[in-house]
Amino acid sequence: MRRTKHQVTSDEDLFVGIDLHKVRWHVTIRTFDVELFSASIPGDWEALRRVLDRYAGQRLEAVYEAGYFGFRLHDRLVAHGIPCLVTPPSLVPQEYGNRVKTDRRDSSKLAHLLAKGMLKRVWVPTEEELYHRQVIRRRRQLVRDRVRTQSRIKAELRFYGIHLEEPRGRWTQMYFETLRSIRFGNRWMQESFNRLLEQYEFLSAQIDKQTQLLRELSETARYQERVEILQSIPGIGVISAMELLLELQDVSRFRRAEQLAAYVGLTPSQYSSADKVRMGGSLASARILCGLFWWKPHGN
């Protein structure tokens, strides 16, 4: 534990940098010029609250990096009367040439950069928005799991020299029945292959259930009107519409069309070195996206 004796005046702002880990958190508290406190504490809200309460009556502002721990700590700090900034790790200024990385240094750096006003913030969704967003993200996870299972099935067929004409896109029921009819002539291999097929069936059923849940969410007052508007665009169905709405949520938080385009990765980019040129993004796509989705949420 590290403390500095410094008489804090009532008009001084205090800045709190929190480096989060599963078991321990490292906390640094400083004024604009002086570091007052730096210590490792148990990784829970109550331990942090006890530290912060030592500075009751002072204006405090906290920061931690976005990631594994989500926004629960942000909500608790705000409810406790302490503004909190959740910063994207990729945009934290780096000190080049410094190869020493410790929890204390990370915490101290966050507090220092917060005091200097050099940190960006991520948008923090409401609890309801987080729960709604998880519906589309869970479906996406299940689809990825099924694709991996399909790849394992195809790899196994190739490994044992079994060639089947694979349909384009999603596997048909007829193709799956053909897979089920394959016989290896060995119990151990057959049972092992059947587990893969059962896993594919299970994931397909889970995707269907999650898709139905997504459709039910799309019919609520919060999303129904905007889903109908999006579905009027050729090529956009319920799933694509909800993907956009749940990931973007309140589009009015973007002040300019360029900010929305940057958020979704549609701003033009270029990397050129010697004879290699790599282009990214599409300005035309960005303008189309901004034109289509520039409205404020309804039903809130």
pLDDT digits (tens, 9 = 90+) for 78-104: 999 999 999 999 999 987 777 778 999
Span 99-139, pLDDT tens digits: 778 999 999 999 999 999 999 999 999 999 999 999 999 99
Kind and range of the H or E run holding 243: helix 238-248
Domain ranges of the chain: 2-116, 127-236, 250-300
**Tokens standing for residue 121:** 């913030």
Interatomic CA distance for residues 61 and 77, integer angstroms: 9
The angle at the Cα of 48, spanning 88 to 73, to the nearest 5 degrees, equals 40
Interatomic CA distance for residues 128 and 118, integer angstroms: 30
User: Which 3-state string (H, E, C) describes 6-17?
Assistant: CCCCCCCEEEEE
Indicate the fold that domain 2-116 takes in CATH. Answer: Nucleotidyltransferase; domain 5 (3.30.420)
Of residues 174 and 263, more confidently modeled: 174
pTM over 0.85: no
Instruction: Quote the percentage of the chain above a pLDDT of 70.
Output: 84
In the predicted model, is pLDDT for residue 75 greater than 60? Answer: yes
Span 230-259, pLDDT tens digits: 899 888 899 999 998 998 887 777 777 677
Q: Angle 72-79/45-52 helices, nearest 10 degrees?
A: 40
Count CB atoms within 10 A of the CB of residue 67.
11
Q: How far apart are the first and last CA of the chain?
A: 46
**Tokens standing for residue 150:** 């399909």
The angle at the Cα of 139, spanning 136 to 144, to the nearest 5 degrees, equals 125
pLDDT of residue 100: 77
250: three-class secondary structure by DSSP = coil
**Per-chain mean pLDDT for the chain:** 87
CB-based contact 153:196 (threshold 8 Å): yes
